[in-house]
Amino acid sequence: MNVRDVANLARIELSDEEASRYQEQMDQILQYVEQLNEIDVEGIEPTAHAAAIFDVVREDVATGNSLSQEAVLSNAPATAHDQIKMPKVVE
């Protein structure tokens, strides 16, 4: 694994010091995780959830449980015109 490349995918900027420290730690962890490749999992179904539940649906009606616009915006780092303000995305 190249820590810097993966950090880029994860949208985390790393300092040089972090990148070299994590690289060493991550190599060690991945080496340990390699043991999974020695296990025979032929024909074994994967478990995504301890309690398998599928397609939980409710009636398609508004529950009235949603937060108000004011509550949603109350934690936003920057707002303008009752919306979340962002840096320019499209030139």
Positions touching other proteins (CB under 8 A) are 1, 3, 6-14, 18, 22, 25-26, 28-30, 32-33, 35-37, 39, 41, 44-51, 53, 56, 58, 65, 67, 71-72, 74-78, 84, 86-89
What is d(CA 46, CA 27) in angstroms, rounded to the nearest whole number?
25
Cβ closest to other proteins, residue 56 vs residue 80? 56
The number of C-alpha atoms within 13 Å of 58 and in the hemisphere containing its C-beta is: 3
User: Whole-number minimum distance, CB 54 to other proteins, in Å?
Assistant: 10
- Is residue 84 a contact partner of residue 73, using CB atoms and an 8 Å limit? yes
Q: Name the β-bridge partners of 84.
A: 79
User: Whole-number minimum distance, CB 30 to other proteins, in Å?
Assistant: 8
Q: 3-state class of 74 per DSSP?
A: coil
User: Whole-number minimum distance, CB 78 to other proteins, in Å?
Assistant: 7
